[in-house]
Amino acid sequence: MTSICQVCNLLANPGTRHCKLCNKCVGGYDHHCRWMNTCIGDANYGLFMAFVAAALLYITVML
């Protein structure tokens, strides 16, 4: 069942939330990442986890 976003007046699937910073609806919205300057949701969750893993690896190597 779909609903209508109250902010952008578009059809949205369940689990979709509107990001105030990006001003768009994001499926499976988790949070807005300031370092990547994008919303983290279903479409890019794997990419975000790869970014976090690479950052941890970089810190480990530098220490």
DSSP state of 13: -
Distances (CA, A) of 13 to 5, 35, 60: 9, 27, 40
Chain length of the chain: 63
**5 has catalytic annotation:** no
Catalytic residue among 19, 22, 25, 33: 33
List active site positions: 33
